[in-house]
Structure 1
């Protein structure tokens, strides 16, 4: 994959789409885009395996914005990150399948997870430390996304779309666990 991305970046330079001095930036962007596509495809495949495609997609739609701004635990290598992502997606789909869709469970997961996220986020990673301004901005963004998702959980639960409410509540709770793990790692 590296050689394909390298050739593509070289093609952009040769055809004067990008400047040679910007080569590394574009290579990095292409590489990150490739990783995102691989993770999306993997999540959909896991959804197909579990026969829970829309739940897998909804989980990603809820989890990724929270994760982006909230931070939390990060694996030390891309390979470990990918394996943890597979395990996380599988675990979430199993939880969706087996957790009873009661008001208590849905609102309990949302409440517990929301309180933890509200109190801890953002949790920085050693690979991407945050300055004070970034911490403030990411905290606000996390709280805005969290508030919107909590409102969606309450609304979908009240309208008896329990499975939608459960998926989003599990995404909130999952991020809270990732924040706790990230906090533990920081203090080690």
Structure 2
């Protein structure tokens, strides 16, 4: 469904003389990514509204997004699987907020997550190989973001254990995605 919508969008741009014929495939791919991303954001927004976890979701994605973008991670084979995995991980993380974590847990796990990023980041996608310089730059950024999320999670604990847990589960989700991507790349 997303693929056909993206194809229609690219064809529309072509028929309106906004793009050239040899650009249709590139625009189709971009439109497919845009539609998929919008579907994921909409799904998370619906879950956020149903759960009433507005502030928690912002904190979760404040930790998750920078680490996931720079460290890389697992890529589902279809848009539906991507949506279901993203929604499932988010939902599980929001449910885990109800389990109290004593400060040593996020501190130790945050250090372990940062160490995993130092060792394994970035998880490259097989369709987008990185140069040595790109790999080093992504790793540096991922380490900074992971360490910042870990430190902020511990610091937030002083004010709110729930806020700390939001940051913690965002970091954990991003790093586990990265590790799944590393494993997927090693297997294929």
TM class by shorter chain equals 0.7 to 0.9
The residue aligned with 1:46 is 47
Instruction: Please give the alpha-carbon distance, in whole angstroms, between the structure 1 residues aligned to 2:4 and 2:177.
Output: 33
Instruction: Please give the alpha-carbon distance, in whole angstroms, between the structure 1 residues aligned to 2:44 and 2:162.
Output: 18
- Residue 8 (structure 1) shift: 2.9
**Is 1:69–1:142's contact at 8 Å kept on the other side of the alignment?**
yes
The residue aligned with 2:165 is 166
- Residue 3 (structure 1) shift: 4.1
Please report the RMSD computed on the Cα atoms of aligned residues, expressed in angstroms.
Answer: 2.3
Instruction: Please give the alpha-carbon distance, in whole angstroms, between the structure 2 residues aligned to 1:4 and 1:71.
Output: 27
Instruction: Please give the alpha-carbon distance, in whole angstroms, between the structure 2 residues aligned to 1:185 and 1:50.
Output: 32
- The list of structure 1 runs, each at least 4 consecutive aligned residues, that deviate by more than 6 angstroms after superposition, is none
The residue aligned with 1:81 is 82
- Residue 117 (structure 1) shift: 1.7
- Residue 45 (structure 1) shift: 1.7
**Is 1:109–1:172's contact at 8 Å kept on the other side of the alignment?**
no
**Is 1:69–1:122's contact at 8 Å kept on the other side of the alignment?**
yes
Alignment TM-score, normalising by the size of structure 1: 0.83
Number of residue equivalences:
186
**Is 2:39–2:83's contact at 8 Å kept on the other side of the alignment?**
no
The residue aligned with 2:104 is 104
**Is 1:114–1:172's contact at 8 Å kept on the other side of the alignment?**
no
Instruction: Please give the alpha-carbon distance, in whole angstroms, between the structure 1 residues aligned to 2:29 and 2:4.
Output: 13
> What stretches of structure 2 of length at least 5 have no aligned partner?
none
